[in-house]
Amino acid sequence: MRAGVDVGPTNTDAAVLADDGSVLATVKMASIPGDPVACVRNALARLPMDGEPAQVAVGLRGAATAVTRRSGLRKVAVLRIAGVSATAVRPLSGWPPDLRAAVNAGTAVVDG
């Protein structure tokens, strides 16, 4: 059995599938603003399942929307633990400049 959860800004939808891909059950619930982990946990808890699913796929529509709109994003630090060759491509290189500026709280590459 497999489960899928899609967390959106308004609603969280989830489904549980049998091994043959048939839909066993679905649920729809209001999303908890700012807490996608709680949304996933609550949705999985409401799905009628016999035991643990072998796989869980999670979609975060809210996160994708935030990146697209460049709003509601938080600054994060990027720490890359790697060898010297990792310095050839700096963290966040290739990101659009406005997105990099919106989320970058600093980057570092350390040996490891």
| pTM > 0.95: yes or no | no
Over residues 62-107, the pLDDT tens digits come to 778 888 888 888 899 999 898 878 788 888 989 999 999 999 999 9
SS3 5: strand
d(CA 81, CA 62): 29
| Position 5 pLDDT exceeds 90 | yes
pLDDT tens-digit readout, 6-60:
999 899 999 999 989 899 999 999 999 889 899 999 999 999 998 888 999 999 8
Nearest residue to 7 via CA among 44, 41, 50, 39: 39
- Give the helix/strand (H/E) hosting 20: none
CATH of region 2-69, choose from 3.40.250.10, 3.30.390.30, 1.20.1260.10, 3.30.420.40: 3.30.420.40
Cα distances (angstroms) measured from residue 82 to each of 28, 92, 93, 99, 100: 42, 15, 16, 24, 21
- The answer to whether the CB of 15 falls within 8 A of the CB of 58 is no
What are the domain boundaries of the chain? 2-69, 76-110
